[in-house]
Amino acid sequence: MSLIADLAFVLHTRPWRETSLQVELLTAGHGRIGVVARGVQGPKRHVLRAALQPLQALRFEAMQRGELARLVSAEALDTAPRLSGDAALSAFYVNELVLRLAQRQDPAPELFQAYAQVRARLAGAESLSWTLRRFERDLLQAMGLGFDLDNDGQGEPIDPAARYVLEPEHGPRRLVLDRGAADRRGAATGRALLSLAADTLPTAEDLGSLRLALRAVLSHHLGPRGLKSWDMAAQLRPPAR
């Protein structure tokens, strides 16, 4: 049994037995970990429950015991962003991505930093689509799954005027149009890839081309089971992702 003392963001909580919660945390030094917060459902534990809401930044201590640790203490470090509408759905998507792709107890300081940035951006005035595309890029990079966006899989510089399919194992592949009739759905513009590489906001058309291109990469790494947030977005109005 070992003591974990760290900074973290809350990704997800769910009831555990009668009065407890199982909480998934993204920590600064230990990666994603699962903890059990015992006895937090009573009327006198509302302060602790509030510190265990998704998106909350906190300082905590826990005793590691097997796969799940036992939460000893937790202190909120700020007020979690209060989001609604598309921003709330986007936050759910971000948390779900991290839960599915980040392995437990695998330190990922770059992912922790990327999460801190997207959390702040979701509460700001930045385009949600651009916020999510940047996080998807950063998450893939932090997990060792990213690729060069300035050059294609053959090492050739990205052509701003061309379109590219993103192949998970090889990177951008230039789309060859068959007499102009090829389906461009799922292919990103070269301008969009270069903008994403430079972290510069692209035009609305180019930004829109990144969504399905990056989703194909994420779907590959997620496997046959998609994301609940994708299903939810499909049932609502056209989402900002």
Closest CA to 70 of 40, 109, 28: 40
pTM to 2 decimal places: 0.92
Domain annotation for the chain: domains and CATH numbers: 2-76 (2.40.50.140), 85-235 (1.20.1440.120)
Helix residue spans in 27-186 (DSSP H) = 46-50, 85-101, 109-122, 128-142
Average pLDDT on 6-12 reads: 97
pLDDT of 180 above 60 = no
pLDDT, the chain, mean: 91
pLDDT in tens, 86-132: 999 999 999 999 999 999 999 999 999 999 999 999 999 889 999 99
Q: How many CB atoms lie within 10 A of CB 3?
A: 10
pLDDT in tens, 181-190: 445 788 999 9
pLDDT recorded at residue 178: 58
Identify the three-state secondary structure at position 213: helix
